[in-house]
Structures are given as structure tokens and as C-alpha cells.
Amino acid sequence: MSVNTTGNLQKMKARLESPVSYSLPLGDTMVPLNALINKKISLTFSGKINCVYCGRETNKSFNQGYCYPCFQKLAQCDSCIVSPEKCHYESGTCREPLWADEFCMQDHIVYLANSSGIKIGITRASQIPTRWVDQGAVQALPVFRVRNRQQSGFLELLFKQHISDKTNWRAMLKGETENLDLEQHRQHLLAECSEEIQALQDRFGIHAISILTGMKSISIDYPVESYPATVTSLNFDKETKIEGKLEGIKGQYLILDCGVLNVRKFGGYEVNLQA
């Protein structure tokens, strides 16, 4: 397979197969990436960056691809996206209420995942299993279904007192994650937090905060031929050309024999891909 394509980077698209099937949107082209594993590739940054939302050219990207004006005004760049329990939609101060109606005021799933160890996470119901793949999780188990993003944030905040809500990306990329009994962790956390969960159900209603039963843990396999012993991060802001053998893909990372590239971090960067 020969590739010579130029365009602005976007996050990789993934389809849950065994292993996960990845494609890279590059401008108007969708490049199938699994076929390039074990091939030499080069990615050359032109020096041009376009906002992933409005398309305007910018000297610096914010929050994985936005120009500064969009970063300042868009609801998807607000601090409550990172801390959903701080949602201020009900106060009438949301930057974009119509956007929030579509993305925040929708059913969310609170889940356990194993990417570099046990963690708690949240995502829109429509984003499963995409969110798990983007995090490089090798296992995942839904625990709650709630009515909106803020409610999922309250539950996440509750469970964060007992387990992490972060992925150790270096450990995830080394492929050293051991399988866990997520169901056992689920039962333990539900027991530990039973009073606080009941309080949230009393506040929002049992139909708004629903414990999912009968769910099975899923396992996710990634197209990786070789994991790095030492994780070296590659950066277009420091080197305009990145070249090496593609040894695997996991999460939103390309694993090359010279280091790892977080594709999502460089959203909007104009890059030429050759293979």
C-alpha cells in the first residue's frame, strides 16, 4: 500500500474489531492505518495550523486543535468539560445551550476501565465503545446510566475518592497492563459508596441515576506488533518531520520505532503522510 497524502490532522477513527481497525482522517482523505503497520512512514508538518472548529489559520493551537477565539467561546472548551460536576447549564450561563442540549443533556455512562490499571470514567452513551478505545483501555465495564453529564460527574467525583480517573499513558503504551476482575471492583465500589449513591438517587430520582445490571466486561485488542521498552514522545512543535517504522496503534497514539505520536494532540496541524 502506497500513501502520499496531505491534510489537517484529526483524531483517528476506530472501529471495534479484533484488533481495533484504525483510519486517519487527513484532509478529505481517510487513510486506513492497520495496513501500514510494519511499514516505514513519514509525517511532515508544513508549519501551518488550522482551527479544527472554524478552520482559521492560527499560530498556536489550544485544547487539541482550537484557535484562541474558539477556545474562549465554545462550550466544548469550557472547564466543565474536564470537571462535569461544575456544569452551569441550569444557571443559564452555558456558553452554548443548544450545543449542551445535544452533547451534555444526554444519557451518559459511568464506567470502569483498565488502561494502565483500574480507573473510573464517563462518556455519552453514544460514545461507547469509542471512548474506551481512545483511552487505550484493554477492558471496560459500564456501571451506571445517568440522564446528563453533570450527574455522571457527581458519580465520577464520588468514585475518585477510591480509584483513579486518569490513565498513565506511558504505562498504557508499554503494554504491561494486567487483566483485572472489573466485576469484583464494581461490586466493591458500589458497596463502599452505597450511601452516597443513594443520596444522589434521592436528589435526582432513581430513574436518573440507574445502576446497570447484567453487564459484561469487554476486552479490547489493539494492532500492536511491538511495544516500546522506553516511551519517547514525538512532537511536531520540536521536529517538523517524524519518520520511522509504524509498530502499532493504541488509543490515539501511533507507536513508531523512534517514539510515540499523540495524533489528537496535534489536531489541525497540516501534515503530509507518506508510506
pLDDT band (50, 70, 90) for residue 1:
confident
Nearest to 9 by CA among 60, 41, 49, 37: 49
Per-residue confidence (pLDDT) for residue 176, from 0 to 100: 86
Stretch 93-120: mean pLDDT, rounded? Answer: 97
Stretch 40-63: mean pLDDT, rounded? Answer: 97
Q: Per 3-state DSSP, what percentage of the chain is helix, strand, and coil (rounded to 5)?
A: 30, 30, 40
Per-residue confidence (pLDDT) for residue 241, from 0 to 100: 97
Cis before residue 129, ω within 30 degrees of 0?
yes
Q: 160-182 pLDDT, tens per residue? A: 999 999 999 999 999 989 999 99
pLDDT band (50, 70, 90) for residue 28:
confident
Stretch 197-226: mean pLDDT, rounded? Answer: 96
Stretch 144-161: mean pLDDT, rounded? Answer: 97
Q: Terminus-to-terminus CA distance in the chain, angstroms?
A: 8
